Amino acid sequence: MSNIQTGLLMLLLTAIGVIGYNVWLRETTPPPISYTAFLADLDKGDIQKIHLRGGEITGENKKGQSFSAFSPDLTGLMPLLLSKSVEISAEPVEPGLGGFLQSLIPVVLILGGWLIFNKSQSGKGSGSGSGSGFGRGKRSPLLPIGMSRITFADVAGIEEALGELTEIVESLRHPEKFSKLGGHIPKGILLQGPPGTGKTLLAKAIAGEASVPFYSIGGSDFVEMFVGVGASRVRELFTEAKKNAPCIIFIDEIDAIGGKRSGGSASGSNDEREQTLNALLVEMDGFSSDETVILVAATNRPDMLDPALLRPGRFDRQVTIALPDAKGRLKILEVHSKKIVMALGINLSAIAKSIPGFSGAEIANLVNEAALSAAKHGKQAVTLSDFEEAKDKIVMGLARKNAVISEKDRRVTAYHEAGHAIVATLLPETDPVHKITIIPRGRALGLTQQLPLDDRYTYSKEYILNRIKILMGGRVAEELIFGRLTTGASNDILSATEIATRLICEWGMNSTIGPVAHMQDQGGFLGGSSTMKPYSEQTAQRIDREIKKTIEACYGETRQLLTDNNKFLHTLAEALLINETIDAEEMSIVYHCYMSDKKIEDSLKSHPEETKQA
């Protein structure tokens, strides 16, 4: 039972006790009557006996009915009672004690419930190093050896990292194999990479392969509002881990406590984090040779970690887990597809190639979304169309099929997306068009999706400039056909400006500015915007001129390209207005039909005399 459930049970029992006491008090107390009514009954001779306790009167009438009353004048009442031959009994009263005890009973019940609840919380605190409730660790309970665990067979797509960590598993299984040669097991392993690439899964697989205890805790669990709690939890965790060596300690998101120290006086949460980091550094240095305790940590921001944490002797090995390539994505798909009912004939290799840049977590989500799509449509197995629908939902957003779009806006959107697609199709060094749609998805009214044939790791200048031209294709198409501009190209312009800026300031591909870096990427594995380095005002003006010159040149070439292929633009836009979505195969058919017609037209133009004779 959890602490919350225990607390609620204690409060419920306390409330039941208070209510029960009040019910008992009400049932055992005779019904009250006024003192005037009591004197009237006494005068009639209806009172049989009474009991006096101070000014309180309880008794029975001659009908056997009980009653209670209060007398303000017992001295004057006694002669009346004696004259009526009423049976009288009395008891002494200790002033104020009875009322105080009665009022204290609910307080005692509530206090007792709180004490029991607090004791249950303290009893459930793990660890044995700290006596304070604030210092209790939040880590997962120790997993017993022999329990079903995750192994390397459950991890796919990161073979290089697995090969690197196999040595760690061997050192945990057979430490004497390394110690007899004078070597020692690495004390710490830092797993770094983008989110969703399997860092946590890999740490669990190491423990599963070696069949050793595994402690898991998040970096944020060390930090509380009370100064010193984080350091206490670090000491407690390592004390227990040493008792159960060999074992693995896994700290997820270690950048929460391992960030670079400020170097000056700190206070509040920063002071608490620095104390926690200092305790972690001391504990990592405190391992003896007979204590096989390996610290595995994961982070998305290795650039934020303190240099003292990364030095050899603490984190001896840093393993970078990158996004999987096409082969890796295929293996991850094969692992997750075993958990669902798949239709026969699905080409997982084609699906893997169509999702470049997907992490392991995103591929797992893709498979799950495909299964949900199949269930929603009442299918008995997951088909390729379910994977396509799931991929579109993840990449492009949820389709807003009920959105009310005017015919005029639909036409503008169709020509806009056709402009993107035609420029991408006609230019060299571009990614093939995978799908074009004018169905609103997410915040966009339409979308043109391109997918590379192979994973790209470097990009040529021609590819980057053509990317700007593709982005400008939508705006140019609107201007050519409708003679006016809309806000639909705002995101395209923003992306084109960013690419042009990086081409000039980061990649050094502009002949005027030269191979000089004026900006750098600060996002690490998390991406994010780049920051500009300091430079002179003259340099800033030159950079602005070159950015504008690059974009205007791409815009002009795109305009000329769409003007020369105006018929292709109309044909594709009309097809989009009819079908709303065009895939790669349909796009290929439209393109080849257009090229065939164009060849015929060019032939007729080049031989006008033969045409007249014919």
> E strand or H helix at 215, and its extent?
strand 214-218
> E strand or H helix at 188, and its extent?
strand 188-192
Phi, then psi, of 43 in degrees rounded to 5? -65, -35
Strands 247-252 and 214-218: parallel
Which residue in the list 224, 274, 417, 546 is annotated as catalytic?
417
Helices (H), 198-295: 199-210, 229-243, 255-258, 269-285
CA 220, CA 46: separation in Å to the nearest integer? 78
Q: Under a CB-based contact definition with an 8 Å cutoff, are residues 601 and 566 in contact?
A: no
At 64 the three-state DSSP class reads coil
End-to-end CA distance of the chain: 93
Phi, then psi, of 269 in degrees rounded to 5? -65, -35
| Amino acid at site 121 | Q
Task: Find where tokens 């084109």 sit.
Answer: 496
Q: Quote the strand ranges of 483-578, DSSP E.
A: 519-521, 530-532
Burial of 213 (0-12, 13-18, 19+ CB in 10 A): buried
Q: Which residues of 465-481 are buried (b: 16+ CB within 10 A; e: fewer)?
A: bbbbbbbbbbbbbbbeb
The three-state (H, E, C) secondary structure of 31-49, written as one string: CECCHHHHHHHHHHCCEEE
Residue 329, both tokens: 């994505």
At 392 the three-state DSSP class reads helix
Residue 590, both tokens: 């439209």
Sheet with 87-90, strands from edge to edge, namely: 66-70, 56-61, 47-53, 87-90
CA 316, CA 360: separation in Å to the nearest integer? 26
417 flagged as catalytic: yes
Residues noted as catalytic: 417
